[in-house]
Amino acid sequence: MLQVVQAYDRAPITEIETDDEAALERKLQAAEAVFKDRDNWLKPHQRIAILRKLAGLLEARRDHFAMQIAREGGKPLPDAIVEANRAVDGVYNAAEELRNFAGREIPMGLSAAAADRWAFTTKEPIGIVAAISAFNHPLNLIVHQVAPAIAVGCPVIVKPAGTTPLSCIDFVKLVHEAGLPEAWCQTFVPAETALAEKFATDPRIAFLSFIGSAKVGWYLHSKLAHGARSALEHGGVAPAIVDRSADLDGIIEPIVKGGYYHAGQVCVSTQRIYVHDAVINDFTERLVARVKKLRTGDPTLKDTEVGPLIIPKEADRVASWIDEAVKGGARLATGGKRLSETTLEPTVLIDPDPAARISSEEVFGPVVAIYRYSKLDDAIARANSLPVAFQASIFAQDIDVAMRAANRLDASAVMVNDPTSFRVDWMPFAGRRVSGYGTGGIPYTMHDMTQEKMILLKRR
């Protein structure tokens, strides 16, 4: 049995049954059987109907899911409501994308050998999808992995994070209630960590969707069966540059949201802020004043802005990184105190050493660091100096500065006057280099979960 607890105070929520190796084998066999039975594949109109019904069922239970996200994951309730709404929209998005999801004509007749022929491609589901998810968006990440699989006709087996399985389990129940046969969408909650590797690397798996640490993701990627595809979403150490032309009155709120949303437990959370000499004192004063006012505590309360870290061990780690930075010469502008077993004060550090972990590794906690620069290209070089690369921001009113930074920052997406954490669910979302592999976002995932087949007709 797996005990699920509240992230904030570690109070028990419930216990759930776990799956052993025999259960995994049953689930893989069930998924393989329905995928091999081509005559009974669901038609696109049937999959659209299921997804639309699922979105309605999910919307009707929005408040339940929001409170569950707050309890098991520790996300403040206002943000949990946003996540639940995004999940509903994501399911609709997968259904609507099918309207334009098609193959293409391959030109023939371009040579004598190709005369009197007509060719086109169709899209087919790639096969069984293994989805391994993370705790920080326990509903919406599941939607991003499961809804595309349903849309394109892939059987999917989804493993939620062990700390936050309830939203996933409840969502998959709604999938079945919406009319999808159970074998097409199953949960997997392993009794042992080793079973997760066995699951992901099973030769029957055609596509691995992994959201989590780079160490685990790249390891599983290296062990995949030959021919299997993967999409890996890891983390970053997201940089933001504040130019001297930035509107300081308008950027503090988005930067605070970017750095402290879900206590910084977001793969594109703002962590490194490079601020121009001319405005650094004014910016720092304003940022620290706002961070001091953040309401930190019980995520189930509607006025909480920053909740806990997911487990006490993570709070220990983040606290140790803050201590290391301060001992290494950083100035602690605010925060740094332990408020409870899992909760830390939102923290601002000034000019930590570049070698400190807070400067070079993903903190995944409620901490941002401010660094001074005088030349834009120096700030860009420092922003690009790490092996991770995901999303980045430039805050500037000077269009030349904004475009120079946008063109030169090593990132899959550069936000101009928006935080590094900005995302809508239909946009491409991808880490570069160590930060990931493939492209997320519901339409892009649907594409990755299919393969094209060319059909050629020769005239008599």
**What residues are labeled active site?**
233, 267
d(CA 341, CA 129): 37
Q: How many residues does the chain have?
A: 460
Q: 348: which residues sit within 8 A by CB, 6+ positions away?
A: 284, 287, 288, 291, 332, 333, 334, 335, 367, 368, 369, 370
Beta strands in 199-298 (DSSP E): 205-211, 229-233, 238-242, 270-276
With contact defined as beta carbons under 8 Å apart, do 280 and 51 qualify? no
d(CA 179, CA 42): 11
d(CA 238, CA 386): 10
CB count within 10 Å of CB 385 equals 14
CB count within 10 Å of CB 176 equals 15
With contact defined as beta carbons under 8 Å apart, do 307 and 288 qualify? no
d(CA 258, CA 118): 52
d(CA 387, CA 384): 8
With contact defined as beta carbons under 8 Å apart, do 296 and 339 qualify? yes
d(CA 239, CA 156): 35
Rounded (to 5) percent helix, strand, coil in the chain: 40, 20, 35
Q: 194: which residues sit within 8 A by CB, 6+ positions away?
A: none
- As given in the structure block, the two tokens for residue 262 are 């879900």
* Cα-based distances in Å from 115 to 50, 453, 454: 43, 21, 17
d(CA 117, CA 455): 10
d(CA 154, CA 136): 25
d(CA 91, CA 62): 13
Q: What 3-state DSSP class applies to 304?
A: coil
